[in-house]
Amino acid sequence: MTTDTPDHGAHPRFAEALRALGLEDVLARARRFPEATRTAAEAAAAIGCEPSRICKSLVFAADGVPVLVLMDGASRVDVERVRAELGAGKVGRADARVVRETTGYAIGGVPPFGHRTRTRVLTDRALLEHDLVWAAAGTPYTVFPVAPEDLVVHAGATVADVRERPA
């Protein structure tokens, strides 16, 4: 576990972003775990919720331009749907270097907003089926609860249908 984070456990940059948005109360609800919550399964197990209540923040490259996709933890992103939504020629997962350069955070701890750069954001519609979801707070050990509607607003996201459908 990192020792350079404050008691709430959120990454200092993310904590500052929350304060700038007037969301200091979110810090009080952030939860820090001794074991990593890098994956949706790890986060759901630590919190004691269904994986669909975890918000994954995934960075893709659409024609070489980073785009953030917010997806429920029980689903997978359909890159073809993302491509169509963006009108892009090619979409693929961004590598760890691009994720860190774009967001300022490492894979496994990327929050849905409060990034180093302004990025286009898509939120899968299925996240809105919940009253509350949990998202990374900038570290692989810390999550915070948020209403999906608030997540969409603060991330500046476009709601779209971008998850894989069952075969």
Tokens standing for 44?
């759901």
- pLDDT for 26: 84
pTM equals 0.91
- pLDDT for 8: 67
SS3 109: coil
DSSP letter string, 36-96? ---SHHHHHHHHTS-GGGEEEEEEEEETTEEEEEEEETT--B-HHHHHHHHT-S-EEEPPH
Show pLDDT as tens, one digit a residue, over the chain (167 residues).
Answer: 433 444 568 888 899 988 888 888 888 889 898 887 888 998 999 999 999 999 999 999 999 999 999 999 999 999 999 999 999 999 999 999 999 999 999 999 999 999 999 999 999 999 999 999 999 999 999 999 999 999 999 999 999 999 998 76
- pLDDT for 6: 47
- pLDDT for 4: 43
